[in-house]
């Protein structure tokens, strides 16, 4: 499947119908997730603030997933010089930055009543902020280098260097003292949180993933057409 979609024409044909389908399913899941999030009872410790987590936690998870996609596409673009991989990497960066910013902003709204501060230099918070800086650095470097081929190579290297931060974010609560709790869902003995909270989390997480998939396809399509138009314009000018 992946090999077949590596062909730009096949990818464009596939994404033409896949993007709206994924987007529609994502909208349904997110609507259901938000409805369930407001329907659950307040947490005995966090009160009504627990509802923020149904937006915050999936956004934080997606910030990592999006960066893995960015780094993976960058790797294939750098090693195999595949134009579609470069386009996919460039398309993923703004989406990942958006999820990361959403995670940091909603985390601040949750942290103020829970921790008494909008921001603390917690290991996970700090490494998540660094992730946002990598996203912004990737986009800034793309814009700063006029030669597109050189920009793709330079940004691919930056993306692969930044991938080191992904396991740091994930294991930061294990390696250092952190205000964030450890893994509470995928544990050896099963989820540590009440089942009533698992449903909205699951719906929101799946909705975020499909939303990212839909927008990634749309942005990748736009990037392919932009590159084709640029190539034609250069040929006409030359």
For 106, other C-beta atoms within 10 Å of its C-beta total 19
pLDDT of residue 228: 86
DSSP 96: H
pLDDT of residue 196: 77
pLDDT of residue 185: 67
pLDDT of residue 184: 65
Question: Which residue stretches of the chain have pLDDT < 70?
Answer: 1-5, 182-192, 194-195, 238
Within 13 A of 91's CA, how many CA atoms are on the CB side?
A: 24
Contact 207, 26 (CB under 8 A): yes
- Distance from C-alpha of 132 to C-alpha of 73, rounded to nearest angstrom: 18
Task: Give the helix ranges, DSSP H, for 8-82.
Answer: 8-39, 53-80
| pLDDT tens string 132-190 | 999 999 999 999 998 989 999 999 999 999 999 999 998 888 887 777 776 666 666 66
The whole-model pTM stands at 0.91
Chain Cα centroid distance, residue 69: 8
Contact 66, 95 (CB under 8 A): yes
- Beta bridge partners, 43, equal 47
Q: What angle do CA 85, 234, 158 make, to 5 degrees?
A: 35
């Amino acid at each position: 499947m992946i090999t077949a979609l590596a062909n730009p024409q096949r990818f464009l044909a596939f994404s033409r119908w896949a993007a709206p389908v994924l987007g529609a399913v994502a909208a349904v899941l997110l609507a259901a997730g938000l409805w369930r999030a407001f329907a659950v009872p307040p947490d005995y410790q966090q009160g009504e603030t627990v509802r923020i987590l149904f937006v915050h936690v999936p956004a934080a998870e997606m910030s990592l997933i999006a960066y893995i996609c960015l780094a993976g596409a960058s790797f294939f673009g750098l090693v195999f010089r595949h134009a579609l991989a470069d386009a996919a990497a460039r398309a993923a960066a703004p989406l990942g930055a958006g999820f990361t910013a959403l995670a940091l902003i909603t985390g601040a709204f949750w942290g103020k009543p829970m921790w008494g501060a909008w921001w603390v230099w917690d290991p996970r918070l700090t490494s998540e902020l660094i992730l946002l800086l990598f996203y912004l650095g990737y986009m800034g470097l793309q814009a700063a280098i006029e030669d597109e081929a050189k920009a793709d190579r330079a940004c691919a290297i930056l993306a692969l260097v930044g991938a080191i931060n992904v396991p740091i974010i994930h294991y930061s609560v294990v390696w250092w003292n952190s205000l964030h709790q450890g893994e509470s869902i995928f544990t050896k003995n099963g989820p540590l949180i009440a089942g009533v909270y698992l449903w909205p989390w699951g719906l929101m997480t799946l909705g975020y993933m499909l939303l990212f998939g839909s927008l990634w396809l749309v942005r990748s399509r736009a990037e392919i057409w932009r590159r084709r138009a640029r190539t034609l314009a250069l040929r006409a000018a030359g």
